């Protein structure tokens, strides 16, 4: 068979299966490549071998070559080590963003080129356009499945060598196509959560790498409410897993995480889901990444997401001399979390994004040990 022009990342799921099917239907010279990004830890929770068998079956049905690469070492160094360091620091990282940047659109792309391919393709719900000599990342047509949020760290080199064959489809149509084509993955359940944790208990998994360090749970006024197993197991806005029973003198209402003091090992909670202690209108980021290679302007208006599947939020953006950005929202935002990704949009176009470093939420401001980044106005 001739050298494939496109290598499809086949994950063993229905999305990548239909991506491969569509390219075959278009007459492309295609091959599939399965990436193993996590070494089996012996827990029995890793589904990689099942997924690999499904990927082999899909490639066999489509009559395309199958390739395998083990990127577990690269994943550990480029994604998981950072994941652990962020949690240990009390932040909440987004490993899917790093996985795309460090593995799927770096090592996978390199492997595809070594196999002689010109481009890679994946089953992401996103689209690519070329306008005015620039490559643009666009939202997927199915807004409920759009994955551009996780792809905002891609640049011109990656987009010029990438295809998203299912970006124009919605999930219902995709399932129908898979069923009609007889793809063995057509009814397979979508994977959810972080790939290396899978269906297992998050706290139990993280506890293997970050030993439990119990401490006190306080309300924002400092009253002791209970005990926690470790502040790094929790994230802002979280309700589940606090195990706070009836508290004398307090209503029988749910508690929500509103802050973390890692240095003092204190977790802060409140009974108001929309607690003012975790509301913010201003945030500051680490160095931003721009898909076009540079920001649209020093100051501009756009929309933003501070978490996946969040509705668009209007904001004004100021780019600092060091490459970070300061974002002011048109209305208060709940539980904006340091370590997570801020992703910026102009309509359907993803402009880029950055890791959130700090917000002006009242409790975060009170707990911050160093001077506030908001005290120096981005003039």
Given the residues 46, 59, 195, 350, the one annotated as active site: 195
Q: What six digits make up the tokens of 259?
A: 């802050």
350 is catalytic: no
Task: Round to whole Å and give the CA distance between 17 and 19.
Answer: 5
Q: How far is CA 136 from CA 121, 127, 219, in A?
A: 16, 8, 45
- CA dihedral over 85, 89, 92, 97, signed as positive or negative: negative
Q: Catalytic pick from 46, 99, 302, 315? A: 99
Q: In angstroms, rounded to a whole number, what is the distance separating the alpha carbons of residues 193 and 213?
A: 25
Strands (E) across the chain are located at 6-9, 30-36, 66-70, 119-121, 126-131, 134-139, 162-163, 215-218, 224-228, 256-261, 266-270, 279-285, 289-290, 299-305, 313-319, 325-334, 341-346, 349-359
Compute the Cα dihedral for 224, 84, 194, 101 and give only its sign.
positive
d(CA 15, CA 33) in angstroms, rounded, equals 14
- Angle at Cα 283 formed by Cα 370 and Cα 144, nearest 5°? 140
DSSP 189: P
- Kindly give, in sequence order, each residue whose CB lies less than 8 Å from that of residue 192, ignoring residues fewer than 6 positions away: none
Nearest to 353 by CA among 190, 180, 153, 170: 153
Query: Considering only CA atoms, which of 118, 67, 126, 134 is closest in space to residue 96?
Result: 126
Instruction: Please identify every residue annotated as catalytic.
Output: 99, 195
């Amino acid at each position: 068979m001739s050298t494939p022009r496109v290598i499809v990342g086949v994950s063993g799921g229905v999305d990548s299966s239909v991506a491969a099917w569509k390219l075959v239907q278009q007459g492309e010279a295609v091959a599939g490549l399965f990436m193993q990004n996590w070494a089996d830890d012996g827990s029995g929770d890793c589904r990689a071998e099942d997924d690999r068998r499904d990927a082999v079956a899909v490639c066999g049905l489509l009559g395309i070559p199958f390739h395998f690469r083990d990127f577990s070492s690269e994943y550990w160094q480029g994604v998981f080590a950072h994941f652990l360091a962020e949690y240990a620091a009390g932040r909440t990282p987004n490993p899917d963003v790093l996985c795309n940047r460090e593995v799927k659109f770096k090592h996978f792309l390199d492997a595809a080129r070594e196999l002689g391919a010109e481009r890679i393709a994946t089953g992401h719900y996103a689209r690519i356009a070329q306008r005015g000599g620039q490559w643009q990342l666009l939202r997927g047509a199915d807004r409920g499945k759009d994955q551009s949020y996780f792809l905002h760290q891609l640049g011109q080199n990656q987009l010029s060598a990438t295809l998203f064959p299912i970006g124009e489809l919605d999930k219902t149509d995709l399932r129908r196509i898979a069923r009609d084509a007889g793809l063995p993955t057509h009814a397979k359940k979508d994977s959810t959560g972080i790939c290396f944790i899978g269906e297992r208990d998050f706290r139990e998994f993280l506890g293997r790498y970050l030993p439990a360090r119990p401490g006190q749970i306080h309300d924002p006024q400092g009253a002791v409410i209970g005990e926690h197993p470790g502040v790094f197991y929790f994230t802002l806005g979280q309700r589940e897993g606090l195990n706070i029973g009836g508290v004398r003198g307090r209503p029988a209402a749910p508690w929500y995480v509103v802050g973390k003091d890692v240095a003092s090992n204190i977790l802060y909670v409140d009974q108001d889901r929309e607690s003012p202690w975790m509301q913010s209108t201003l945030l500051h980021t680490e160095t931003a990444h721009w898909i076009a290679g540079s920001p649209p302007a020093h100051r501009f208006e756009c929309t933003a997401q501070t978490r996946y599947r969040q509705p668009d939020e209007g904001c004004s953006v100021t780019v600092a001399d060091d490459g970070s950005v300061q974002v002011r929202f048109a209305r208060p935002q709940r539980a904006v979390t340091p370590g997570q990704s801020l992703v910026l949009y102009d309509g359907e176009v993803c402009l880029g994004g950055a890791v959130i470093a700090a917000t002006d939420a009242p409790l975060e401001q009170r707990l911050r040990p160093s001077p506030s980044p908001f005290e120096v106005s981005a003039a």
